[in-house]
Amino acid sequence: MTGMNTPASPKLQGPLRTSYWQHLCHVASENPVTGLAFGLFALIVGMALFGPYLVPFDPLDTGVGPALQAPSGAHWFGTDHLGRDVFSRVVVATRLDMLISVSAVAISFVLGSIMGCFAGYFGGWTDRITGRLMDTIMAFPLFVLAMGIVAAAGNTVENIVYATAIINLPFYARMARAEVSIRRNAGFVQAARLSGNSELRVLFGHIFPNTLPPMMVQISLNMGWAILNAAGLSFIGLGVQPPAPEWGIMVAEGANFIISGEWWLVIFPGMALMLAVFTFNLIGDGLRDLVDPQRRT
């Protein structure tokens, strides 16, 4: 539909090369912002994996301190309206947030690529039906559609994941379709076909790997959106159920305390949220460098 959803593909090339790793190191050293992003990414993954074992307090315990205390030595990020430790909650929330964004993006990536590949490879009715379906999804303002789905299906973590996956689906489907359709008659594909590979094998064994690099960019950008999306849903009351710590709901709840001056309730989860989205966005840019230095944006 628009140029951004289906960026022109990099030059036709074979399967992924191992020299990507070298290129990555090169790009990271060349571009300090991307280097920073990969550092932050490692930190976030570390927090998601080990956070719950490292925090000083139980994130759900309402009795660890007096309510609404400003940051101090005992509670680095202060305490919330129920006397819970904000630092512990922010750290522990990483896991749930990563879970939501990773699984949402994984679902839309897998489904979207399959649909897009078939549409692009076989064309005809497959293409038309997929195209119309994606048009229908794209026709809704994305956040509003997510809102509707979660409201209709009930606000559980799974439904937030599904809703986020559905609204991201068209991006992958379109991209896969575009990447596949320009390659379906390329030389290496013809060669693979002549050497007796089945159609599916050609599609997923030979063509699909080539679509991965631009997809990686989309994935990292969508990871950021997924978190923002969950936060927005929380703000209108459709997010994760309490008392689970989640950045979005913490920001949404904390936002009510800005005017009364309890800034720490919103600033710290907000910073964490921002940092994560920021990291994914920067990584997306960095990956774009890897994929196609010409089109770096």
Please list every residue from 144 through 183 that binds other proteins, using CB under 8 A.
144-145, 147-149, 151-155
Rank residues 30 and 201 by Cβ distance to other proteins and give the closer one: 30
Question: Considering only CA atoms, which of 19, 20, 13, 18 is closest in space to residue 189?
Answer: 13
**Interface with other proteins: number of residues (CB under 8 A):** 71
Q: What's the Rg (C-alpha) of the chain?
A: 22
Residue of the chain from 23, 31, 40, 111 that contacts other proteins (CB under 8 A): 31
Question: Considering only CA atoms, which of 209, 214, 207 is closest in space to residue 186?
Answer: 207
Report the greatest alpha carbon distance in the chain. 73
CB of 122 to other proteins, least distance (A): 15
- Tell whether residue 23 is a contact of other proteins (CB under 8 A): no
CB of 78 to other proteins, least distance (A): 15
- Tell whether residue 260 is a contact of other proteins (CB under 8 A): yes
Stretch that binds other proteins, among 1-9, 157-165, 188-196, 211-219 (CB under 8 A): 1-9
Residue of the chain from 90, 96, 252, 265 that contacts other proteins (CB under 8 A): 252
- Chain positions 128 to 147 lying near other proteins, rule: CB under 8 A, are 131-133, 135-136, 138-145, 147
CB of 139 to other proteins, least distance (A): 4
- Tell whether residue 64 is a contact of other proteins (CB under 8 A): no
CB of 240 to other proteins, least distance (A): 10
Structure tokens, 67: 């309510």
Stretch that binds other proteins, among 16-24, 157-165, 208-216, 277-285 (CB under 8 A): 277-285
- Tell whether residue 65 is a contact of other proteins (CB under 8 A): no
Rank residues 189 and 292 by Cβ distance to other proteins and give the closer one: 292
- Tell whether residue 1 is a contact of other proteins (CB under 8 A): yes
- Chain positions 185 to 244 lying near other proteins, rule: CB under 8 A, are 224, 228, 231-232, 235-238, 241-243
Residue of the chain from 277, 287, 290, 291 that contacts other proteins (CB under 8 A): 277
Rank residues 15 and 243 by Cβ distance to other proteins and give the closer one: 243
